[in-house]
Structure 1
Amino acid sequence: MELTLIRHGQSTGNVAREAAILAGADALGLGERDSDIPLTPLGERQAAAVGGYLAGRPPPTLVLSSPYVRALETARIALATAGFPPDLRIDERLRDRDLGAFAGLTPSGIRLGHPEEHARQAFLGKFYHRPPGGESWTDVALRLRSLLAELPSDGRVLIATHDAVIVLFRYIVEGLTEAEVMEIEKETIGNASVSHWREGTRVLYNDASFLD
């Protein structure tokens, strides 16, 4: 079985986060739910570039996507550009990690607005800490394990999803430890990057060399 994971293209949330951190703000100031955040025009071009990367390769036998708009848009644009059938299946287990009370906040906003939880996170570590009303990394890993157990044992599976999900796929598929995956997590998963496993062996990870 071949497994290809694509992170969504640049989203308006990505741009807002970068701007908020640069300005020293405590919040991103987004007016929509995380699930409704769309791609930027650059993100759409990145998704088309993914389609160009996929074109000429054998078409996927199964396409799955997070239900979040930015991932769905990426999958649909990529499939159309590659000339593949538009058939895809939405699976909620591929959604981004729920940050609960931390949603929409910058790191400084979390420190100031939730000092006790910030201290608790520092003690428990990023992997196990669950923000109030949100998910820990291990919570996401559990839903991904159930998804992986249902995937076909052969064929080519293409998945459009989010950065934390891609990191945790690697954690599960490669049988990593907490320390190993948290070290890997320090590397930013690029927008529209591609990661690929064949028979459980990593072939590509976080590759965006095809983007101009």
Structure 2
Amino acid sequence: MAQASSVSPLNVLLDRSSTGDLVAPAPHGDVLARILSAGLRAPDHGHLCPWRYVVITGEARPTFAEHVVAAVARQEPEAPEKKREKRRKRFSETPMIIALGMHLRPDHKVPVMEQEMAVAAGTMNVLNALHMEGFGGVWISGAFCEDRSLLSQLGLEAPHRLAGFLLVGTPEKSDRCHTRPDIGDYMAFWDGQSPIAFGADDRRKER
């Protein structure tokens, strides 16, 4: 019988960091379904279920990469060729790409911003689930994510939008945890008397 891990779930989350240095394999089958299901556990005011995940793998990647490059050319005509080639390479070679669709309802009483936050919260759940299953990912976005032709390729007709893409695979380096700031600089206790101040803000003033 396998021995239970002594590492707590919280410590696993504290070790998570984004990485674009990804190689095969990427999750598939039931594992992928469970990882994406974690996204659907995010807070969702109004139960609108705004999450839409489009998975791009295998031979579809180079084809989709050309759509991305074309979107960059339309949205950022001044972008250097080096930037376009970087997009082409990443979308062609990363083991898996997950488009983060936002199925929005502007006419609903729940503000659009809250619907977008539900998608963002779901994306963080997916990143955490990837990490907990031994995979890795990085969340990317840019002006090209607003390109309506690209969004149409992903089944996201107006008013629906895109929160970006997750590039997914297995981290090339096992020890990838980046140093995080001290939480003491980013939290405060409200007592109703003293003004709130954050160490992080003071440090920025010093720069």
| TM-score when normalising by structure 2 | 0.29
Q: Which has the larger radius of gyration?
A: 2
